[in-house]
C-alpha cells in the first residue's frame, strides 16, 4: 500500500467519523443537552452494579485517560514508529501535536454544545466541565489510535495481539466514564467518533507530508530523474 492509498483511506475514515459525529452532536443539541434514548437505562444499570473492587479498578483505568499518561504514550508511539533518531523525534512531536490539538478542538466543541452531565448523585468519581464529547474517552481513543498506528508501521510478529490490547484499553477508558456515572453513553460514543475523525485528519496529513522512508520497513522512494532508490539522509 503506497502513501496516497494510506492518505485516501485515512481521509475517508476521518470524513465518515466526522459525519457521524455531526449527526450525534445535532441530536444532542436539539435535545437541549438532555439524555438520549439509551442514556438513562445504561446509567441506571451502572449505578446498580458497583461493587467496591470494580469501582476502584474503574477509577484506575479512567485515570489513564487524562494527565501525563496519554502524552507519555504519544511520545512512545512516535519513538516506536520512527526508523532513525531524526524520524523518531519528528514522529514523537507529531504525535504529541495531534493529541494536544485534538484536545483543544474538543474543548471548543464542548463549549459550543454545552451538554450537562448526569446527576451528581450517580457519580462515583470526580468530574468537571461539560459532557459532550467525553474528554477521557477522546484522549484515550486518540492515544490508542496513535499507538496502534505505530505498532502497525513497525509490524512485529505479535502486532495483532498488541493492537487488540491497546484497542481494548482505549475502549475501556470510555466505558469507565459511563460506569462511574459521570458521562452519558452518547458522550462516550461522541468521544470515539471525534477521536476517529481527528486521527483520520492527522494520518491523512502525515501520509502526505512526512518524509517518504519515514518508518521502519518502508522502501526508499524512487528518484524519478535517475530511476533508482534515493538515499535516506537520516541514515
pLDDT digits (tens, 9 = 90+) for 75-93: 999 999 888 888 899 999 9
- Asked, for residue 229, whether it belongs to a domain, the answer is no
| Predicted local distance difference test score (pLDDT) of residue 222 | 35
pLDDT at 219: 40
pLDDT band at 31; cut points 50, 70, 90: low
CA-to-CA distance for 177 and 127, rounded, in angstroms?
10
Which pLDDT score, from 0 to 100, does residue 183 have?
96
pLDDT digits (tens, 9 = 90+) for 112-128: 999 999 999 999 999 99
Would the pLDDT of 57 be above 90? yes
| 219 located within any domain | no
234 dihedral zone (left: phi>0; alpha: psi -120 to 50; beta) = alpha
Predicted confidence at residue 235, as pLDDT, reads 40
Sign of dihedral through CA atoms 146, 147, 153, 159?
negative
Average the pLDDT over 31-55 and give the result.
Answer: 87
> pLDDT band at 212, cuts 50/70/90?
low
pLDDT at 220: 41
- The grid coordinates listed for 151 are 505498532
- Is residue 226 in a domain? no
Neighbours of 181 (CB within 10 A): 22
Instruction: Kindly report the CATH number assigned to the domain that includes residue 135.
Output: 1.20.144
State which residues form the domain around 89: 3-124+131-210
Retrieve residue 8's grid coordinates.
485516501
**What does pTM read for this prediction?**
0.86
Instruction: Give yes or no for a contact between 56 and 127, defined as CB atoms under 8 angstroms apart.
Output: no
Question: Of residues 69 and 8, which shows the higher confidence score?
Answer: 69
Q: Which three cell numbers stand for residue 12?
A: 475517508
Residue 222 covered by a domain? no
Query: What pLDDT was estimated at residue 2?
Result: 60
Q: How confident is the model at residue 72 (pLDDT cuts 50, 70, 90)?
A: very high
| pLDDT for 208 | 75
Determine the Cα–Cα distance for residues 182 and 217; give it in Å rounded to an integer.
Answer: 43
**Pick from 63, 220, 31: which is nearest to 235 by CA?**
220
What average pLDDT is seen over the chain? 86
| Residue 78 located in a structural domain | yes
- Please state the rounded mean pLDDT for residues 46-70: 95
48 within a domain of the structure (yes/no)? yes
Q: Please tell me the total count of domains within the chain.
A: 1
In a domain, 224, yes or no: no
Is residue 233 predicted with pLDDT exceeding 50? Answer: no
Question: Is the pLDDT at 159 greater than 90, yes or no?
Answer: no
| Residue % of the chain over a pLDDT of 90 | 66
* Residue 234, domain member (yes or no): no
Amino acid at each position: 500500500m503506497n502513501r496516497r492509498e494510506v492518505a485516501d483511506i485515512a481521509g475517508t475514515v476521518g470524513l465518515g467519523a466526522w459525519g457521524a459525529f455531526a449527526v450525534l452532536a445535532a441530536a444532542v443539541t436539539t435535545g437541549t443537552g438532555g439524555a438520549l434514548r439509551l442514556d438513562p437505562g445504561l446509567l441506571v444499570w451502572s449505578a446498580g452494579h458497583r461493587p467496591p473492587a470494580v469501582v476502584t479498578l474503574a477509577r484506575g483505568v479512567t485515570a489513564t485517560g487524562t494527565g501525563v499518561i496519554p502524552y507519555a504514550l504519544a511520545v512512545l508511539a512516535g519513538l516506536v514508529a520512527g526508523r532513525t533518531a531524526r524520524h523518531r523525534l519528528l514522529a514523537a512531536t507529531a504525535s504529541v501535536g495531534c493529541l494536544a490539538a485534538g484536545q483543544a478542538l474538543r474543548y471548543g466543541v464542548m463549549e459550543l454544545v454545552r451538554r450537562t452531565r448526569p446527576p451528581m448523585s450517580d457519580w462515583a468519581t470526580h468530574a468537571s466541565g461539560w459532557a459532550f464529547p467525553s474528554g477521557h474517552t477522546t484522549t484515550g481513543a486518540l492515544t490508542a489510535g496513535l499507538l496502534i498506528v505505530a505498532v502497525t508501521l513497525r509490524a512485529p510478529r505479535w502486532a495483532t495481539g498488541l493492537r487488540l490490547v491497546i484497542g481494548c484499553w482505549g475502549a475501556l477508558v470510555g466505558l469507565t466514564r459511563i460506569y462511574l456515572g459521570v458521562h452519558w453513553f452518547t458522550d462516550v460514543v461522541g468521544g470515539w467518533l471525534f477521536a476517529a475523525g481527528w486521527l483520520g485528519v492527522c494520518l491523512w496529513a502525515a501520509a502526505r507530508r512526512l518524509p517518504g522512508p519515514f518508518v521502519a520497513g518502508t522502501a526508499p522512494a524512487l528518484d524519478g530523474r535517475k530511476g533508482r532508490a534515493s538515499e535516506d539522509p537520516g541514515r
